[in-house]
Amino acid sequence: MKNKKSPRSFLDNVCTYVTIILGSLSGILFAFSIVCAVNHSWTEFGIYLAIAIVLLIITIPLMFRGDIYKCPKCGHEFKINPYKLFFTKGMLCDLEGTPTKYVKLKCPKCHSKDYCKRRWK
Ligand SMILES: [Zn+2]
């Protein structure tokens, strides 16, 4: 029983790997599209960019899967639209390699805009 992993944690691991692979692939394709733009190969640029954007759209919800945020004012815990979160200031810190602990979000309960603490599952 010791070595037996629950199907839930196995799925979580698979999701993490898929997120990393898709994220890197998206980055590589973005780099390719820039190279194509420099060489004025606009057809290739469009193709690479389109694939990179599609990959990013798939990756974003996986990246924030199960994340919960806690409002500092009323203590209400809530989930947020991952696409919205990706474009917040807090997300930029994640791209630099440091995990974001606080993200400025609007609480759905008390409607105050403050730095909410991120809790990983
Ligand atoms: Zn609140």
Ligand 1 center from residue 95 Cα (angstroms)? 27
**Cβ atoms 119, 79 nearer than 8 A:** no
Residue 104 φ/ψ, nearest 5 degrees: -75, 110
| pTM of the predicted model as reported, rounded to 2 decimal places | 0.67
Q: What is the mean pLDDT of the chain?
A: 83
Closest CA to 121 of 79, 85, 75, 59: 79
**Model pLDDT for residues 34-43, shown as the tens digit of each residue:** 999 999 999 9
Neighbours of ion ligand 1 (CB under 5 A): 71, 73-74, 76, 107, 109-110
Does 111 have pLDDT greater than 90?
yes
Give the pLDDT of residue 76. Answer: 95
Ligand 1 center from residue 42 Cα (angstroms)? 48
**Total Cβ atoms within 10 A of residue 121:** 7
| DSSP line for 46-85 | HHHHHHHHHHHHHHHHHHTTT-EEE-TTT--EE---HHHH
Does 46 have pLDDT greater than 90?
yes
Calculate the dihedral angle through the C-alpha atoms of 73, 118, 87, 107, rounding to the nearest 10 degrees.
-20
**Model pLDDT for residues 65-83, shown as the tens digit of each residue:** 778 899 999 999 999 888 8
Ligand 1 center from residue 57 Cα (angstroms)? 29
SS3 105: strand
**pLDDT category of residue 24 using cuts at 50, 70 and 90:** very high
Q: What is the rounded average pLDDT of the residues 82-98?
A: 63
Ligand 1 center from residue 79 Cα (angstroms)? 12
Ligand 1 center from residue 85 Cα (angstroms)? 17
Give the pLDDT of residue 87. Answer: 74
